[in-house]
Chains A and B, each alone.
Chain A
Amino acid sequence: AQSVTQLDSHVSVSEGTPVLLRCNYSSSYSPSLFWYVQHPNKGLQLLLKYTSAATLVKGINGFEAEFKKSETSFHLTKPSAHMSDAAEYFCVVSDDDYKLSFGAGTTVTVRA
């Protein structure tokens, strides 16, 4: 069985400061791991995907995530937050690359 736990339901940061969104996963296999973003009134968009090629994955808009098997974690980071980063972020796991299991989501607010 596969599942993800997003450790923070809400994260608030100041513009220009780092963002850290925490995610732990549970999977019976070597999973694929994803981060998706959902801006208000917009569809889900893929930020990045881990497929075992490299443990540090770079995504769009300056985001990156590090896969740590020993900690079963896949935390998302960005060095400097922009106002446009305000959105809901979902950590996602898949054992079979088609059935996605989503975390509960983390809402990010960015303060000017």
Chain B
Amino acid sequence: GAGVSQSPSNKVTEKGKDVELRCDPISGHTALYWYRQSLGQGLEFLIYFQGNSAPDKSGLPSDRFSAERTGGSVSTLTIQRTQQEDSAVYLCASSGADGYEQFFGPGTRLTVL
């Protein structure tokens, strides 16, 4: 079956602009996660959605970052007023109800000029 998909695969933006990154989880997966992979910080947890529960936003680095998950499926990560330090690969993952394994998407490479 189809895996986790993310779009766009690459995004180049200018400092100060807003960007939206999209994640389509595996069908039927109740949990969705966002991570960031950057040269300086490695792989960091950003946010976690599980069903209809309130998301765990403890990993979001600043209030410029937000995410939503509509209808328990697709998720959008929004970065407002982008800064150069936001340049990274943003990874999305999803898991089934047992949470045994997180399946990762290919990522969106964001470059802020």
Contacts and interface: CB of A to CB of B under 8 A. Distances in A.
B42 A100 contact: no
Interface stretch (A39-47, A67-75, A79-87): A39-47
Interface in A63-112: 90, 97-105
Given A42-B106, A43-B105, A43-B107, A97 B42 contact: no
A104 B59 contact: no
If over half of B's interface residues share one DSSP class (helix, strand or loop), that class is named, otherwise mixed; here it is strand
Interface residues of B, number: 25
A101 B104 contact: no
Interface string B75-100: 00000000000000001010100011
A39 to B, nearest CB: 11
User: Looking at B45, B56, B58, which has the most chain A CB atoms within 10 Å of its CB?
Assistant: B45
A91 to B, nearest CB: 11
A104 B44 CA distance: 10
Contact of A99 (B4, B59, B91, B106): B59
In the A-B complex, the 10 residue pairs with the closest CB atoms: A102-B43, A44-B104, A43-B104, A43-B106, A46-B101, A99-B45, A104-B42, A97-B99, A98-B48, A98-B99
